[in-house]
Every structure is written in C-alpha cells, then in structure tokens.
Amino acid sequence: MPDPVTTSGYVVVKVAATNVNTVDTMIRGMGADLSLSTKLLAVLGMDFAGTIVAIGEGVRDFAIGDELYGCDGGLRDIPGSLAEYISADARLIAYKLKTLRMRDAAELPLVGITACEGLSRAGGGEGQTVLAQGGAVGVGIIAIQIACHPDAKVSVTGRGADQVALIENLRGRPLDFTMQQIEDYVVEHTDGMGFDVVFDSVGGPNLTNSFEAAKLNGHVASTVEIDSTPVHFKGLSLHFVFMLIPLNHNIGRQTHGDILRILADMADAGGLRPVVDE
C-alpha cells in the first residue's frame, strides 16, 4: 500500500508498537456481520505508539519527531495501526509516556480509555468500595490502578496464584472466584452491604454476579449487554461503556486525547503501569 499522506488535522506516525484487543479480533473474525467492520482487504488494529514523521495543516500541539500514542482506525473505512505508518487524528493522540517503552505505551489506549470512562460514569471515587470483575487482564488491570485512590478500597476477582499475585502487586485486594462465593466476599469486604461501584470487564453471565455484589442503589459499569431485570429490583445505575463511539461517529474525539494525557501523567508519576507479557 502507499504510505499515508498528511491531511488537515492529522499527523502521520511511523508505528513502533501496536496492541491487539478483543474488538480487533471480532472485526477480523465477524467481518460484515459486525457493524464496525470494514470491507476487506483492510488495515486493522487501533492501538499504537510511534513517532511523528509528517504533520497536516492546523495541527499545532505536535511536531515532527514527537513520540506519541493513541487509538485510531481499524474500523469502517479508517485504516488502522497494523502497518508501518498510520494517519492519526491529532485529537486522538497524546505524548508517549516518558518512562515507558513504545510497547508499554501501545498497550494502554483502548483499555485505559475504557477504564476511565467506566469508572467516571459509575462515580468511582475516594472512600468508596469498588469491585473490579476480571481485574487481572485487559481493561481490569487499568481499572484497578485508576480506582486505587488513597481512601478507596478496591477488591478484584481473579483466579490462581499468578493472578492473585498480580492483583496484590497492583494494590488491589484479590478475590479468587474459584475459592470464594459472591456472598462471602460481599460480607468480608462490605459488611454485607454490597459494593458502591462494580466494574465488570468480563461480561456475559458474570454480570449477574456483579449485580448481586452491588449495594442497593449502587452503580455497575460494563462493556457488554445482558438482561437488566436484577438492575431494576436493586435500583442500580447501569452504565454501558463503548469507547469507540467518538472514533465511529466522529464526535467528542478530543475527550480521548485528554484521557490519554491524564494516563501519561499518572504513569510518569508512578501511579499507573501496563502489564505486557514478554
């Protein structure tokens, strides 16, 4: 394919690292059956980190040679990041985290934005009890670290010694769901009242567990849909998170760039780190 050229409001990035997410595999596997998909052959992939090699008209916050990261393309008719170069909307990128390698930075955009949006909508904050379902992988890893305010109490479900150790290392309280029942850790960590906020990145049947673990009039944030009958009977606030809306509909894109800057500042201050298998 020809290299991308500069257009107004965009930069051309030489890609150093990419990250494959669940939605990328869905687009590849489901093809035309998924509304986000593009006609093949296409350049897939959304997350990336790299160096700017060209700048389009109107871009003032970046310069050639800047190292950055972001989430752009890989759906509909927008070429993505699984290539040597990507044309990226300047609103969807931020300076790369100074203290992290390219591959570490490329792991953060989609999962980091998803975690931020979910916890923000659910009202997670200091002094609250938070349960992160599936916190030892993907979105959950970032959600644990964002939710760990000085006064917040973040409990995290996982399985096995490796995931328990990772959760502890990320400052969460591990709950091995193969060893404990929901009602047990609700009693242990909330005195039976239920969690103020439940962030569920597992979805499917597990969302029923999240509803059960939430307190009356509590908040649940998730990235998938399910029958909402239990939500009604406990008076819960249910927040579905779909972070690709700004990219898909070209609306509110600057919000993603703003979140990426916050994540970069957190990482450089030592409060956030990605977990990348070597």
Walk me through the domains of the chain, giving residue ranges and CATH numbers: 10-107+250-268 (3.90.180.10), 111-240 (3.40.50.720)
Q: Which residue has the higher pLDDT, 152 or 192?
A: 192
**Is the Cα torsion angle 169, 263, 131, 23 positive or negative in sign?**
negative
- pLDDT greater than 90 at residue 144: no
What pLDDT band is residue 272 in, cutting at 50, 70 and 90?
confident
- pLDDT, average across residues 199-206: 82
Q: What is the pLDDT of residue 159?
A: 87
pLDDT digits (tens, 9 = 90+) for 88-102: 999 999 999 888 899
Place of tokens 């690292």: 17
State how far the Cα of 32 lies from the Cα of 19, in Å rounded to an integer: 23
The closest alpha carbon to 79, from 34, 106, 46, 113, belongs to: 46
What pLDDT band is residue 16 in, cutting at 50, 70 and 90?
very high
Q: 54: which 2 tokens?
A: 């060209």
- pLDDT greater than 80 at residue 84: yes
The predicted model scores a pTM of 0.88
- pLDDT greater than 90 at residue 7: yes
Q: What is the pLDDT of residue 54?
A: 97
Q: What is the pLDDT of residue 29?
A: 78
Q: 174: which 2 tokens?
A: 């591990």
- pLDDT greater than 70 at residue 151: no
Q: What is the pLDDT of residue 260?
A: 94
Region for residue 26 given its phi and psi (left: phi exceeds 0; alpha: psi -120 to 50; beta: otherwise): alpha
- pLDDT greater than 60 at residue 83: yes
What pLDDT band is residue 203 in, cutting at 50, 70 and 90?
confident
Q: What is the pLDDT of residue 94?
A: 96
pLDDT digits (tens, 9 = 90+) for 222-271: 877 666 677 877 888 888 888 888 888 888 999 999 999 999 998 888 88
pLDDT digits (tens, 9 = 90+) for 106-137: 999 999 998 888 888 877 666 788 898 887 77
Instruction: Provide DSSP, 161-193.
Output: HHHHHHHHHTT-EEEETTT--HHHHHHHHHTTS
What is the average pLDDT score of the chain? 87
Q: What percent of the chain has pLDDT over 70?
A: 94
